[in-house]
């Protein structure tokens, strides 16, 4: 009896674990097959199902964005390409596709074209390294600096010229990588942004229909979210203009 | 009158169906008065109830003579009432669409299906009549009836505002392929605050291209019907008929924000007005496109209409076999060369001719009617000799003269020397051209998918790792300095190790078989402990000297006496012949360890 219970439990563990682990991947493969056959509706629904299973993977967001683009839903495409970029900031396909989708949007907002010159290079480098790698470099540099301080301070004459240069280098590396890490983190995750999903939405001067329209946004426009209240979202344009839209008209990235 | 009454009743038609719960759904349109084809109609859907479950955004069916401008925008309201100590609550969800009427005539919004909490509610169809709104400049329309303050603050028809949208073309009768310019401008006798965009109609039968326009730079004044108007051009297009016959340019629709003077004398005196968004349409325009004559059409004619001239050049004039020669043909003049194929290049057996490509396609910066286009052919001689390069012929239709013109130019003689090696006569070479733009394809899965979790760099445990080394730095420095002192300061090292060395010695003494050597070893352990502590030799150290040293270190008298008493007992036992029992040796060892511990604490 005990053996039977143990065997059943082990079987449940193995099969249950296998099913749980395989489900999102199976869903992804089915959705990918639908995409390859041009069944955009089925592909989009399939990739959405994968996301609902607790997956946060840039490939799923990227493919979902592609399927939505093929369905003509440019707002959803921008939203999911942006989410893919948060997970894989340096992916050239995602950046290229997002630029193409943005070129088809009705609203042209400052900043959509991206950065220029050294800033562009800096951000591209930060994105290639990724937030985690920059954070690990900063951590290693901090530990190295601390070890060098211990080695130098624990004996008389411990701060030799070589050790001093190493300590300076470690401190500089810690500061630079730490600042870069924080700025990348802030750029990717710090600012709340939203993408307009409704074909057209009027931004009002306040959270209520009784307020005057201050500007009009169209599907796919990416705006900063400053506040949310009673089903309304205060959005800010790169020009500084702000207005309130219904929170069903836009979705946070 | 009866029709008007029926129309008004239909406008405010409210449908309320109560299902299992107390949810009520209604739909109506605003404004409730006259609606013209330049009015922004608001379709307001209200869902009321004690509590409103999930509401899905309704799908608007195809409407008659209406299309969706914007929406839906949503809002929620809650109200509470206290009656006899009883609290009643009511919630209202409002969804608003902005609809744009098409043309004067009947309009209908079919019944809407609203899904509230899984149940479907239906509204009744709404029908009303759209009348002709304001179009084109002229005397202001007669003021409407009484207008609420609320109406003044909102978008309305603005029929009493003398602002209009006008479209004009430079030529209403042109040949097929002959360009004409279209200008859409605001005619304003009231202050215009902003322009919120123009909705152009589908330009069927016309090829169009936008021309640059700056409303402020190009503004002018015009007098129409004895009244002065400020004219702001908002759009200019180059229109080219692509088929003969009557072509109608349908009305352009634009939303203009104006400041309407206030009826309040105070606000009027200080030029404070109300801002209104008004819709305006242009008149339709009819363009007559004449068909190009068949008579006299040259075979080289490819569709160019205008007045042109051509320049031709070839370089270099002397080459080796297999070397490339570039032939450039530039056509420029008044007209449009958009989509016009290259001129005709005569063929020559001595030359391998590659497909031409356009290397310049420009139009005049101010007057876009001026066209300038250059084609390039690459030709490669396949045998040596002297050849006459082929001539180029360009044919066009001159709309002023009403006849076809043919321009032919010849090129100079080309001298070809014998080259080295065989001549490669393959397929035409060309740069890789993008056929169309599309997104990159979907990504395959080669590794397992990532689960949703906090990134490593944002976890609190990871952040704490930055503080750990700085907490360990003081400990590390203290440990390093102590280690260095142990290595370099013999006295310090002896002092720090004295207790451990004495304890080890006492323990080792227990292994001695005879009583004499056991007690000697224990006594020496205690004496050496003091000598190590004081960093001096134990040789010659008397009990009195030890007592003085202990007293100097602050050891109390009781402990000093206990120490000396123990040493004397050991001396007595060393010279006493009786062998002590095992228990008394263990007792002595324990006493020695206890004294060392007490001295260590008191030092």
Q: Give pLDDT tens digits for B408-466.
A: 888 878 888 876 554 454 445 555 666 557 888 889 888 888 887 777 888 889 999 99
* Residue B253 Cα, gap to closest chain A Cα (Å): 16
CB nearest to A54's CB, from B451, B456, B476? B451
Confidence of residue B477 (pLDDT cuts 50, 70, 90): very high
Confidence of residue A167 (pLDDT cuts 50, 70, 90): very high
Confidence of residue B478 (pLDDT cuts 50, 70, 90): very high
Query: Which of B522, B567, B525, B530 shows the shortest CA–CA distance to B548?
Result: B530
Mean pLDDT of B380-384: 81
Pairwise pLDDT comparison (A219 vs A238), residue with the higher score: A219
Dig out the tokens for B111 from the structure: 């019944």
Detail the DSSP E strand segments found in chain A: 193-196, 200-204, 213-218, 222-229, 232-236, 242-246, 250-252
pLDDT over 70, % of chain A:
89
CB count within 10 Å of CB A25 equals: 16
For residue B568, the number of C-alpha atoms closer than 13 Å in the C-beta half-sphere is 8
CATH architecture for residues B488-602: Up-down Bundle (1.20)
Q: Do domains B2-131 and B151-290 have the same CATH topology?
A: yes
Phi, psi angles (nearest 5°) of residue B212 = -65, 145
Confidence of residue B150 (pLDDT cuts 50, 70, 90): very low
Q: Taking a C-beta distance cutoff of 8 angstroms, is the pair B244, B289 a contact? A: yes
Residue A161 in contact with partner chain B when CB distance is under 8 A: no
Q: Do A63 and B442 touch (CB under 8 A)?
A: yes
Confidence of residue B377 (pLDDT cuts 50, 70, 90): confident
- Reported as type and span, the H/E element at residue B404 is strand B403-409
Q: How far apart are CA B481 and CA B59, in angstroms?
A: 79
Confidence of residue B288 (pLDDT cuts 50, 70, 90): very high
Pairwise pLDDT comparison (B388 vs B557), residue with the higher score: B557
| B96, closest residue in chain A (CA to CA) | A209
Q: Do A87 and B449 touch (CB under 8 A)?
A: no
Per-residue confidence (pLDDT) for residue B70, from 0 to 100: 74
Q: Do A139 and B465 touch (CB under 8 A)?
A: yes
Q: Do A139 and B94 touch (CB under 8 A)?
A: no
- Reported as type and span, the H/E element at residue A25 is helix A2-36
pLDDT in tens, B239-281: 888 889 999 888 888 888 887 766 666 655 555 556 777 888 8
Dig out the tokens for B386 from the structure: 């002297």
Q: How far apart are CA B593 and CA B485, in angstroms?
A: 27
Q: How far apart are the first and last CA of chain A?
A: 54
Range with the lowest mean pLDDT among A16-30, B36-50, B61-75, B240-254? A16-30
Query: Which of B299, B307, B303 shows the shortest CA–CA distance to B402?
Result: B307
Q: Could you say which residues from 53 to 82 on chain A have a Cβ atom under 8 Å away from some Cβ of chain B? A: 54-60, 62-63, 66-67, 69
CATH code of the domain occupying A193-252: 2.30.30.40
Q: Where are the domains of chain A?
A: 2-103, 124-190, 193-252
Helices (H), ranges, B465-556 = 468-488, 490-509, 515-534, 543-552
Per-residue confidence (pLDDT) for residue A14, from 0 to 100: 40
Mean pLDDT of B119-134: 84
**A193-196 vs A222-229, strand pairing mode:** antiparallel
Confidence of residue A240 (pLDDT cuts 50, 70, 90): confident
Specify the long-range contacts of residues B312-315, CB closer than 8 Å, at least 24 apart: B312/B391, B312/B392, B312/B409, B312/B410, B312/B411, B313/B411, B314/B389, B314/B411, B314/B412, B314/B414
Helix, coil or strand: residue B340: coil
Q: Do B444 and A32 touch (CB under 8 A)?
A: yes
**Residue recorded with tokens 């053996």:** A3
| B438, closest residue in chain A (CA to CA) | A100
pLDDT over 90, % of chain A:
51
User: Which residues from B are below 8 Å from A174, CB to CB?
Assistant: none
Q: Where are the domains of chain B?
A: 2-131, 151-290, 304-417, 488-602
Mean pLDDT of B28-52: 82
* Residue B51 Cα, gap to closest chain A Cα (Å): 15
Q: Is the pLDDT of residue B155 over 90?
A: no
Confidence of residue A13 (pLDDT cuts 50, 70, 90): very low
Whether pTM exceeds 0.80: no
User: Which residues from A are below 8 Å from B68, CB to CB?
Assistant: 199
Mutate to test the interface with A, among B57, B67, B436, B439 (most CBs of A within 10 A): B439
Helix, coil or strand: residue B294: coil
Per-residue confidence (pLDDT) for residue A15, from 0 to 100: 43
Query: Which of B324, B361, B366, B329 shows the shortest CA–CA distance to B346?
Result: B329
| B479, closest residue in chain A (CA to CA) | A154
Specify the long-range contacts of residues A32-37, CB closer than 8 Å, at least 24 apart: A32/A63, A32/B442, A32/B444, A32/B445, A35/A63, A35/A66, A35/A67, A35/B442, A36/B442
User: Which residues from A are below 8 Å from B451, CB to CB?
Assistant: 54-56
pLDDT in tens, B173-211: 999 888 888 889 888 887 887 887 788 888 888 888 888
Pairwise pLDDT comparison (B224 vs A136), residue with the higher score: A136
**B35-36 vs B126-131, strand pairing mode:** parallel
Q: Do A56 and B437 touch (CB under 8 A)?
A: no
| A198, closest residue in chain B (CA to CA) | B71
- Partners of B217 in beta bridges: none
Rg (CA), chain A: 25
Mean pLDDT of A171-196: 89
Pairwise pLDDT comparison (B84 vs A161), residue with the higher score: A161
CATH code of the domain occupying B304-417: 2.60.40
Residue A140 in contact with partner chain B when CB distance is under 8 A: no
* Residue B31 Cα, gap to closest chain A Cα (Å): 14
Residues 6+ apart with CB under 8 A from B466: A138, A139, A142
CATH 2.60.40 fits B151-290, yes or no: yes
Q: Is the pLDDT of residue B386 over 60?
A: yes
* Residue A2 Cα, gap to closest chain B Cα (Å): 36
* Residue B387 Cα, gap to closest chain A Cα (Å): 49
pLDDT in tens, A56-100: 999 999 999 999 999 999 999 999 999 999 888 889 899 899 989
Per-residue confidence (pLDDT) for residue B138, from 0 to 100: 54
Q: How far apart are CA B462 and CA B458, in angstroms?
A: 7
**B173-175 vs B285-290, strand pairing mode:** parallel
Q: Do A135 and B462 touch (CB under 8 A)?
A: yes
pLDDT in tens, A99-125: 899 988 888 776 655 666 778 788 888
Residue A149 in contact with partner chain B when CB distance is under 8 A: yes
Q: Taking a C-beta distance cutoff of 8 angstroms, is the pair A167, A146 a contact? A: no
How many residue pairs bridge chain A and chain B with CB atoms within 8 Å of each other?
144
Mean per-residue pLDDT over chain B, rounded: 80
Q: Taking a C-beta distance cutoff of 8 angstroms, is the pair B391, B465 a contact? A: no
Q: How far apart are CA A183 and CA A164, in angstroms?
A: 28
* Residue A7 Cα, gap to closest chain B Cα (Å): 29
User: Which residues from B are below 8 Å from A218, CB to CB?
Assistant: none
Phi, psi angles (nearest 5°) of residue B252 = -85, 145
Which whole-number Å values give the CA distances from B165 to A232, B100, B252, B302, in the listed order? 35, 17, 8, 38
Q: Do B70 and A202 touch (CB under 8 A)?
A: yes
Pairwise pLDDT comparison (B432 vs A130), residue with the higher score: A130
Q: Is the pLDDT of residue A164 over 80?
A: yes
User: Which residues from A are below 8 Å from B478, CB to CB?
Assistant: 154
CATH code of the domain occupying A2-103: 1.25.40.10
CB nearest to A29's CB, from B68, B75, B445? B445
- Partners of B289 in beta bridges: B174, B245
Nearest 10 degrees: Cα torsion B240, B243, B244, B249: -60
Mean pLDDT of B403-412: 87
pLDDT in tens, B338-359: 778 888 887 777 778 888 888 7
* Residue A10 Cα, gap to closest chain B Cα (Å): 24
CATH code of the domain occupying B2-131: 2.60.40
pLDDT over 70, % of chain B:
84
Pairwise pLDDT comparison (B21 vs B151), residue with the higher score: B21
Phi, psi angles (nearest 5°) of residue B409 = -130, 145
> How many helices and strands, by DSSP H and E, does chain B display?
10, 31
CB nearest to B481's CB, from A28, A62, A154? A154
């Amino acid at each position: 009896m005990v053996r039977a219970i143990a065997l059943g439990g082990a079987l449940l563990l193995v099969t249950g674990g296998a099913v749980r682990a395989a489900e999102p991947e199976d869903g992804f493969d089915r959705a990918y097959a639908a995409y390859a056959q041009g069944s955009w509706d089925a592909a989009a629904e399939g990739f959405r199902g994968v996301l609902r299973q607790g997956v946060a993977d840039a490939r799923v967001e990227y493919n979902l964005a592609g399927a939505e683009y093929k369905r003509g839903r440019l707002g959803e495409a921008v939203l999911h390409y942006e989410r893919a970029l948060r997970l894989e900031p340096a992916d050239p396909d995602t950046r290229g596709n997002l630029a193409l989708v943005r070129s088809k949007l009705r609203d042209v907002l400052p900043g959509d074209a991206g950065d220029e010159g050294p800033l562009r290079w800096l951000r591209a480098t930060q994105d290639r390294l990724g937030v985690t790698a920059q954070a690990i470099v900063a951590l290693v540099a901090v530990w190295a600096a601390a070890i060098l301080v211990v080695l130098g301070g624990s004996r008389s004459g411990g701060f030799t010229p070589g050790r001093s240069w190493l300590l300076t280098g470690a401190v500089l590396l810690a500061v630079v990588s730490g600042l870069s890490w924080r700025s990348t983190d802030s750029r990717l995750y710090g600012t709340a942004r939203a993408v307009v999903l409704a074909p057209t939405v009027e931004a009002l001067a306040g959270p209520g229909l009784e307020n005057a329209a201050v500007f009009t946004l169209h599907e796919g426009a990416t705006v900063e979210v400053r506040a949310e209240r009673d089903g309304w979202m205060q959005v800010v344009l790169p020009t500084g203009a702000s207005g309130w839209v219904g929170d069903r008209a836009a979705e946070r990235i | 009158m009866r029709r008007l009454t029926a129309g008004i009743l239909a406008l405010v038609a409210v449908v309320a169906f109560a299902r299992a719960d107390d949810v009520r759904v209604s739909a109506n349109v605003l404004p409730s008065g006259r609606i013209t084809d330049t009015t922004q109609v608001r379709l307001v859907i209200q869902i009321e109830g004690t509590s409103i479950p999930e509401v899905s955004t309704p799908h608007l069916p195809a409407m008659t003579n209406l299309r969706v401008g914007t929406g839906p925008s949503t809002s929620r309201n809650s109200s509470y009432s206290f009656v006899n100590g009883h609290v009643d609550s009511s919630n209202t969800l409002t969804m608003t669409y902005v609809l744009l009427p098409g043309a004067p005539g009947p309009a209908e919004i079919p019944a809407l299906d609203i899904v509230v909490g899984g149940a479907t509610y239906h509204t009744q169809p709404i029908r009303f009549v759209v009348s002709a709104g304001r179009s084109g400049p002229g005397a202001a329309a007669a003021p409407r009836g009484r207008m609420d303050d609320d109406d003044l603050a909102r978008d309305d028809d603005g029929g009493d505002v003398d602002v209009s949208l006008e479209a004009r073309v430079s030529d209403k009768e042109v040949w097929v392929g002959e360009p004409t310019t279209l200008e859409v401008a605001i005619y304003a006798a009231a202050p215009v605050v902003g322009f919120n965009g123009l909705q152009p109609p589908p330009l069927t039968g016309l090829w169009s291209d936008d021309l640059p326009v700056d409303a402020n730079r190009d503004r002018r004044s015009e007098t129409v019907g004895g009244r002065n108007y400020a004219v702001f051009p908002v759009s200019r297009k180059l229109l080219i008929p692509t088929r003969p016959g009557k072509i109608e340019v349908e009305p352009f629709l634009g939303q203009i924000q104006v400041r309407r003077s206030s009826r309040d004398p105070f606000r009027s005196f200080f030029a404070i007005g109300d801002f209104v968004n008004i819709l305006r349409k242009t008149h339709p325009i009819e363009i007559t496109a004449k068909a190009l004559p068949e008579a006299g059409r040259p075979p080289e004619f490819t569709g160019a209409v205008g007045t042109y001239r051509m320049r031709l050049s070839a370089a270099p004039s002397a080459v080796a076999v297999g070397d490339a020669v570039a032939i450039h043909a530039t056509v420029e003049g008044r007209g449009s060369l958009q989509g016009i194929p290259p001129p005709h290049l005569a063929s020559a057996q001595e030359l391998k001719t590659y497909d031409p490509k356009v290397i310049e396609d420009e139009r005049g910066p101010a007057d876009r009617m001026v066209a300038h286009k250059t084609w390039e052919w690459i030709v490669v001689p396949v045998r040596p000799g002297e050849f006459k390069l082929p001539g180029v012929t360009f044919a066009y239709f001159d709309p002023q003269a009403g006849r076809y013109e043919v321009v032919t130019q010849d090129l100079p003689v080309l001298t070809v020397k014998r080259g080295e090696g065989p001549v490669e006569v393959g397929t035409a070479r060309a740069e890789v051209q993008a056929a169309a733009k599309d997104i990159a394809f979907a990504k395959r899965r080669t590794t397992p998918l990532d689960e949703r979790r906090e990134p490593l760099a944002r976890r609190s445990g990871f952040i704490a790792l930055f503080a750990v080394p700085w907490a360990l730095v003081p400990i590390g420095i203290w440990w390093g300095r102590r280690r260095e002192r142990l290595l370099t300061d013999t006295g310090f090292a002896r002092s720090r190790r004295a207790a451990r060395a004495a304890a080890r010695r006492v323990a080792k003494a227990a292994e001695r078989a005879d009583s004499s050597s056991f007690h000697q070893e224990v006594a020496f352990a205690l004496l050496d402990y003091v000598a190590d502590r004081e960093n001096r030799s134990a040789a010659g150290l008397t009990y009195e000297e030890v007592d003085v040293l202990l007293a100097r270190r602050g050891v109390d008298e009781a402990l000093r006496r206990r120490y000396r008493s123990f040493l004397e007992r050991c001396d007595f036992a060393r010279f006493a012949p009786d062998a002590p029992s095992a228990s008394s040796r263990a007792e002595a060892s324990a006493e020695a360890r206890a004294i060392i511990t007490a001295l260590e604490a008191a030092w």
